Amino acid sequence: MIRFLIKGILRDPNRSVLPVLVISIGVFLSVLFSAWFSGVFSDMIRLNANFSTGHLKVMTRAYAENAEQMPNDLALLETGSLVADLQRQFPQLDWTQRIRFGGLLDVADAEGNTRAQGMAAGYAVDLFSPGSREAERMNIMPAIVEGRLPAQPGEALISDDFARRFKVGLGDTVTLFGSTMDGGMSFANFAVAGTVRFGMPVLDRGAIIVDITDAQSALDMQDAAGEVLGFFKSDQYEEAAALEVKTAFNARFQNDDDEFAPLMQRLNDQNGLEEYLVLSKSMSGIMIFVFIFAMSIVLWNTGLLGGLRRYNEFGIRLAMGEEKKRLFRSLIIESVVIGLAGSVLGTALGLSAAYYLQETGLDFGSAVQGGSMMMPTVFRAHIGAQTFYIGFIPGLFSMVLGNALSGLGIYRRKTAELFKELSV
């Protein structure tokens, strides 16, 4: 029977061309947008985790309330023992110390006088410890425009835009003016080992990246850090596991009223990322519903038009004694065949477009500047396992639903009127 229906579809293009085109377009859009939103949300979450929030973050309670101000006077103390304790208690995570700081970068001329100054956003990360993954995690190596990673104390990376604007070359010395943990003035000289461009305006305007030991020395923060970040060793954010770790850690200090007691937060709890995580999970379902609804209406009307064109065919088949339910079932099977064909074609086209956006991306430039959340300027799609099958859900369901709605007219046909209709 199925072979017979397929032959009928192939020999009568009017029966299938329009539905296949409609389904292909809908499936194409479903696949493309699914991959696009998956890429945008995953890149956004990954960037915020790697540069700012970690999968989990430990701070003092006072620091957490003012985290956007980078208040290093409220930093954690004795972080060496804290990190060792975290590694023992939660070995499934990689724990690392970081210091974020602001300051003024001063560039001197040949005589040692100031010739240029600019604001700087500083990141102190573990660059020198054996086995540290901080450079990889922050994607520093691919971001280097000129030069190399710092290899010894007293070296730093600065943003390429800052270096070009103030004509700072490799090996030149820049002076960081900042404030110590105790509120005093801090002055530290750094040799420029390289320049970087991350593609994020918040970093590219004036970033300086140094090893954490250099920052601890410059800011009088020996054995102290603003934040201790934890990353799952799988490199994937595991929301349920993160909640368990957070709950277990915070339970140890729930009866401690000290504002400098450590507090652990998940990625969800920072930078407004909870809403984006929820949205990223529901986006596929929203798209599927929208396209099923829209395509079902279109295919319902297409089915009605096709039913009118095949009015005599249905009448003859009923007059010859074919049961209504058998005729309706054949119409549904026919819709499944057409739905599969359209879904395969639309998925192939959607994957092709998604692959292009995954490799090249779209540059939104200054449109993503501002806000506390880090966002890439180039948004890319991401092809995952879901991308290969998500288009079949609206493709098949909408076609079957549209034909089922239009095919209900079969049950309203009265056998007594068939011969009168056929004689007209």
What 3 state SS string does the chain have? CHHHHHHHHHHCHHHCHHHHHHHHHHHHHHHHHHHHHHHHHHHHHHHHHHHHHCCEEEEEHHHHHCHHHCCHHHCEECHHHHHHHHHHHCCCEEEEEEEEEEEEEEEECCCCCEEEEEEEEEEEECCCCCCCCHHHHCCHHHHEEEECCCCCCCEEEEEHHHHHHCCCCCCCEEEEEEECCCCCEEEEEEEEEEEECCCCHHHHCCEEEEEHHHHHHHCCCCCEECEEEEEECCCCCCHHHHHHHHHHHHHCCCCCCCCCCEEEEEHHHCCCHHHHHHHHHHHHHHHHHHHHHHHHHHHHHHHHHHHHHCHHHHHHHHHCCCCHHHHHHHHHHHHHHHHHHHHHHHHHHHHHHHHHHHHCCEECHHHHCCCCCCCCCEECCCCCHHHHHCCHHHHHHHHHHHHHHHHHHHHHCCHHHHHHHHHC
Over 60: is that where the pLDDT of 418 sits? no
Per-residue pLDDT, averaged over 13-32, amounts to 79
Please determine, for residue 134, whether its predicted confidence score (pLDDT) is greater than 60: yes
**Residue of higher predicted confidence among 359 and 97:** 97
Q: What confidence category does residue 294 fall into, taking pLDDT thresholds of 50, 70 and 90?
A: confident
Confidence of residue 213 (pLDDT cuts 50, 70, 90): very high
pLDDT at position 315: 67
Higher pLDDT, residue 169 or 273: 169
Q: What is the mean pLDDT of residues 58-68?
A: 91
Higher pLDDT: 299 or 241? It is: 241
- Of the ranges 26-30, 109-113, 270-274, the best mean pLDDT one: 26-30
Q: Name which of 129-133, 259-263, 364-368 the model is least confident about.
A: 364-368
Q: So what's the pLDDT on residue 372?
A: 45
What does the pLDDT average to over 404-424? 62
* Span 221-242, pLDDT tens digits: 999 999 999 999 988 888 899 9
pLDDT digits over 343-398, tens only?
899 999 999 999 999 888 887 655 545 444 456 667 788 888 888 888 888 888 87
Q: Which residue has the higher pLDDT, 313 or 196?
A: 196
> What pLDDT is stored for residue 370 in this prediction?
47
pLDDT at 299: 65
The whole-number average pLDDT for the span 67-88 is 91
Higher pLDDT: 297 or 353? It is: 353
Section 97-103 average pLDDT: 92
What per-residue confidence (pLDDT) applies to 11? Answer: 57
